[in-house]
């Protein structure tokens, strides 16, 4: 994997389509490539099919077989090099609730702050 954050691929997992599209636009404006999933099941399918994902940004509250916290733990266990950002508008997570090295953002989050966190985590 390339260690240069410019052009790195980020997987955005968010069931609220407008929130997802807004974050994808922000990431692309910041020079990242963005891939989208509406739930954890779609995200796992994407991760299994691609080897260029450097970071997963996931919302906690999502429909499907697992929420964002379970997805983050699964990604951390199965693909340890992939960095993680977890967001929620309903719960405030402590660092020990997120896999090692991950970051938490409460919603509503500041888009530039998220893009900077992505840059720091994969840079």
Percentage of residues in the chain having pLDDT higher than 70:
95
Check: CB of residue 97 under 8 Å from CB of residue 111: no
> 55: which strand partners?
10, 83
pLDDT at 6 over 80: no
Q: What is the pLDDT of residues 45-63, one digit of tens each?
A: 999 999 999 999 999 998 8
Helices of type H across the chain? 17-29, 40-49, 68-78, 111-122
Distance separating alpha carbons of residues 45 and 92, to the nearest angstrom: 28
The topology under which CATH files domain 9-122 is Rossmann fold (3.40.50)
């Amino acid at each position: 994997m390339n260690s240069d954050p410019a052009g790195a691929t980020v997987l955005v997992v968010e069931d609220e389509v407008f929130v997802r599209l807004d974050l994808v636009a922000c990431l692309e404006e910041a020079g990242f490539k963005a891939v989208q999933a509406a739930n954890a099941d779609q995200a796992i399918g994407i991760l299994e099919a691609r080897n260029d994902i450097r970071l997963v940004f996931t919302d906690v509250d999502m429909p499907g077989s697992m929420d964002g916290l379970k997805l983050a733990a699964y990604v951390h266990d199965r693909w340890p090099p992939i960095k993680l950002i977890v967001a929620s508008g309903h719960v405030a997570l402590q660092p020990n609730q997120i896999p090692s090295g991950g970051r938490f953002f409460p919603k509503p989050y500041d888009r530039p702050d998220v893009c900077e966190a992505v840059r720091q985590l994969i840079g």
